[in-house]
Chains A and B, each alone.
Chain A
Amino acid sequence: MEPLLTVENLRIELTTRDGVAPVIDDLSLSLNAGETLSFVGESGCGKSMTALALMGLLPEKVGRVASGKILFDGEDLTQATPRRLREIRGNEISMIFQEPMTSLNPVFSVGEQIAEAIRAHQNLSRTAAWDKAVELLDAVRIPNPKGRAVDYPFQMSGGQRQRAMIAMALACEPKLLIADEPTTALDVTVQAQIFDLLTDLQKQSGAAIILITHDMGAVAEMARDVIVMYAGRKAEYGPVDAIIEHPRHPYTQGLISCVPHIVSDMSEERPDLVEVPGIVPSLKDFGRDQCLFASRCAHRTDECLAGRPPEKHFGASQIADCWHAEAL
């Protein structure tokens, strides 16, 4: 089967005061329809940038796709016209953002904001779109959806707002849903509910999901594959089971050892990634020809500082970018 999404050697550059830096360097991945791929990694490693690049929403004048391809349904999105991207956004690919408190427009009712997403892509009358918005609010389990549709975002809790965002993202039944840390800003009980909701909705709609998260429990539960990112590069990529079973990259090992009970009881507690000791390199160092994790790595040798670590393959599809992956 042809994958729904294939990213080939994607390089995204940001222009900052210190010059041009590759915030995403040589990233490749593929995702089949209906499956879930998870992104994990420390703050600032470029997860959101990847998501925005898929949406064609890199910050204007600052970020650009320098090279590589984003093939969605066979179409290269890096070459698509702005008009074509608008057709795709919110329709075939949609996105849920990290901050539910600020991601909804404060001066329009929630129902209007959802209905607007429908009207943007479907030839529906105002009332028909509104009715569909109410149905969607019902589908994301907001009680009394008819009454709540006329509410403004400030009248809703964080969890309800994120549900409304999910309703908006699913309005046009997208083939791909990108969820960028959908629960980071919410409290723990609500987090579990949102993940359950996403799982259920995925079963119903058959959408593929890219889940960016710090919640290793959610990764283990929801995703088939995981990409561990470090400083704009892939550290390890492969099936979640295989990687939890035997992580090959020292950074992945550090992440997983921080949550020892992850395999035993995943659904009871939801352990977040704890920081591996040491400091992440700053953006301007992202392009250096060495292993960027070296300053924090216990297994470092001279080789690691001399060049970029090569891809090493394990099993069917586990890949680790580390000079010494076999030994680990």
Chain B
Amino acid sequence: MQFLLTTSKRVFYAIVLLVAVLVLNFSLMHLAPGDVADTISQSMGGADQELLDQIRADYGLDQPFVVQLGRYIGGVLTFDLGFSFFYNMPVTELILQRLPATLLLVLSAQLLALVVGVLLGVMSARKPNGITSHFVTFLALFGYSAPVFWTGILLLIGFSLNIQIFPVAGMQDVTIEGGFWVHAWDIFMHLMLPMITLASIFLALYSRLSRATMMEVLGSDYVRTAKAKGLSQNQVVYKHALKNALSPVITLAGLQFSAVISGAVLVETVFSWPGLGTLAFQSIIARDTPTILGILFFSALVVIVGNLLTDMALRLVDPRLRGR
């Protein structure tokens, strides 16, 4: 009951936040020079003032700002994000086409970074002077300093050009024939490099944090109690200590969600991954305002949903947070 109440409260806040994001995005775009009419006229190879005015009247761009904003928000509430003249299709449809690819990339990269990061952190916390520990320090340095597109290109050269294990670009090989598993494997192979590239940024962050919290937790009284019960090393470390060390890492992962998405824009561009990132890149170049707005809206949505999930995960690992 309590859980339902707090969850619905959070969902309500999330909706308010989303509307605020909408208003802000729309206003910012409105302030920027140029509008849809310009885009359309450009794609037609130029137009005179009369035609421009005609287009503006047709799409309601001559209306006052507040009316346009109201219409836009009204549209969003009915899942109508407008029409992209550049791609010549409704923005909602366009985004829904691209969203799965981005979600796949973002979630798998987060998962990889979390699992590997935490494991490295735990191993180096158990042996602070061991080889894993030095590796984590090196990795952290690398993760902080190497730009993500550089890592991506390096991996591409290494593992698709020199040693040809992984495909160079895209998400699927359309020439492949076969059942579900054949395609799944194909997508998996395409996913590897972009996923590793995106994960590399956060891997360092998570492994550093989990090493620090794990070292603290391993020295705590309840870990000593667990040892005093006669539990095995692995039970002590992976059950008693790890469950306590997870909370800060999950919190950090939640906070990083927006960073992962902006990282995805770069990674998708490097690997021509057909997700929202490449779409964002292309629509910014093409000044396709409705699409840009739509992508911003969906990114905000993903971040907010990510935060809600983080919250739930935290409650799962830490009973002290339940009922709050």
Measured CB to CB, the closest approach of chain B to A214, in angstroms, equals: 19
Contact A105:B222 (CB < 8 A) given known A152-B319, A152-B320, A154-B320: yes
Whether A116 pairs with B231 at a CB distance below 8 angstroms is yes
Whether B320 pairs with A90 at a CB distance below 8 angstroms is no
Whether A106 pairs with B222 at a CB distance below 8 angstroms is yes
What 1/0 flags go to A7-40 for Cβ under 8 Å of B?
0000000000000000000000000000000000
Contact of B228 among A89, A106, A107 (CB under 8 A): A89
Q: Counting CB contacts under 8 A, is B317 at the interface?
A: yes
Whether A104 pairs with B228 at a CB distance below 8 angstroms is no
Q: Counting CB contacts under 8 A, is B230 at the interface?
A: yes
Q: Counting CB contacts under 8 A, is A120 at the interface?
A: yes
Whether B229 pairs with A168 at a CB distance below 8 angstroms is yes
Within 8 A of B (CB), among A122-180: 152, 154, 165, 168
Contact A107:B221 (CB < 8 A) given known A57-B227, A116-B231: no
Chain B contacts of A121 at CB under 8 A?
230
Give the interface size bracket for A toward B: 20 to 34
Measured CB to CB, the closest approach of chain B to A90, in angstroms, equals: 4
Q: Counting CB contacts under 8 A, is A243 at the interface?
A: no
Chain B contacts of A117 at CB under 8 A?
229-230
Measured CB to CB, the closest approach of chain B to A46, in angstroms, equals: 17
What 1/0 flags go to A88-126 for Cβ under 8 Å of B?
111100110101001111111100000011001100000
Contact A103:B225 (CB < 8 A) given known A152-B319, A154-B320: yes
Whether A107 pairs with B319 at a CB distance below 8 angstroms is yes
Q: Counting CB contacts under 8 A, is A87 at the interface?
A: yes
Within 8 A of A (CB), among B116-171: none
Whether A99 pairs with B229 at a CB distance below 8 angstroms is no
Give the interface size bracket for B toward A: 20 to 34
Name the residue of chain B whose CB is nearest to the CB of A117.
B229
Whether B222 pairs with A102 at a CB distance below 8 angstroms is yes
Q: Counting CB contacts under 8 A, is B173 at the interface?
A: no
Additional A-B contacts beyond A107-B318, A108-B243 (18; CB < 8 A)? A57-B228, A88-B230, A89-B228, A89-B229, A94-B229, A95-B228, A97-B221, A103-B221, A104-B222, A107-B243, A107-B244, A109-B319, A116-B229, A120-B229, A120-B231, A120-B235, A121-B230, A168-B225
Name the residue of chain B whose CB is nearest to the CB of A82.
B233
Chain B contacts of A116 at CB under 8 A?
229, 231
Max count, chain A CB within 10 A of own CB: residue among B222, B229, B230, B231? B229
Contact A106:B230 (CB < 8 A) given known A57-B224, A97-B224, A97-B225: no
Measured CB to CB, the closest approach of chain A to B123, in angstroms, equals: 16
Contact A87:B317 (CB < 8 A) given known A105-B225, A107-B243: no
What 1/0 flags go to B292-324 for Cβ under 8 Å of A?
000000000000000000000000011110000
What 1/0 flags go to A285-318 for Cβ under 8 Å of B?
0000000000000000000000000000000000
Name the residue of chain A whose CB is nearest to the CB of B319.
A152
Q: Counting CB contacts under 8 A, is B220 at the interface?
A: yes
Chain A contacts of B231 at CB under 8 A?
86, 90, 116, 120
Chain A contacts of B229 at CB under 8 A?
89-90, 94, 116-117, 120, 168
Chain A contacts of B220 at CB under 8 A?
102
Measured CB to CB, the closest approach of chain A to B130, in angstroms, equals: 13
Chain A contacts of B221 at CB under 8 A?
97, 99, 102-103
Chain A contacts of B318 at CB under 8 A?
106-107
Name the residue of chain B whose CB is nearest to the CB of A168.
B229
Contact of A107 among B225, B227, B317 (CB under 8 A): B317
Measured CB to CB, the closest approach of chain B to A132, in angstroms, equals: 14
Question: What are 27 A-B residue pairs whose CB atoms fall within 8 Å in the complex?
Answer: A55-B228, A57-B224, A86-B231, A86-B232, A88-B230, A89-B229, A90-B228, A90-B229, A90-B230, A90-B231, A94-B229, A95-B228, A99-B221, A103-B221, A104-B222, A104-B225, A105-B222, A105-B225, A106-B222, A107-B318, A116-B229, A120-B230, A120-B231, A154-B319, A165-B225, A168-B225, A168-B229
**Complex-state Cα separation, A86 to B277, whole angstroms:** 53
Chain A contacts of B227 at CB under 8 A?
57, 89
**Complex-state Cα separation, A86 to B227, whole angstroms:** 8
Name the residue of chain A whose CB is nearest to the CB of B246.
A107
Chain A contacts of B226 at CB under 8 A?
105
Measured CB to CB, the closest approach of chain B to A89, in angstroms, equals: 4
What 1/0 flags go to B190-226 for Cβ under 8 Å of A?
0000000000000000000000000000001110111
Chain A contacts of B243 at CB under 8 A?
105, 107-108
Q: Counting CB contacts under 8 A, is B240 at the interface?
A: yes
Name the residue of chain B whose CB is nearest to the CB of A105.
B222
**Complex-state Cα separation, A105 to B231, whole angstroms:** 14
Chain B contacts of A108 at CB under 8 A?
240, 243
Whether A86 pairs with B244 at a CB distance below 8 angstroms is no
Measured CB to CB, the closest approach of chain A to B240, in angstroms, equals: 5
**Complex-state Cα separation, A165 to B243, whole angstroms:** 20
Chain B contacts of A55 at CB under 8 A?
228
Measured CB to CB, the closest approach of chain A to B248, in angstroms, equals: 13
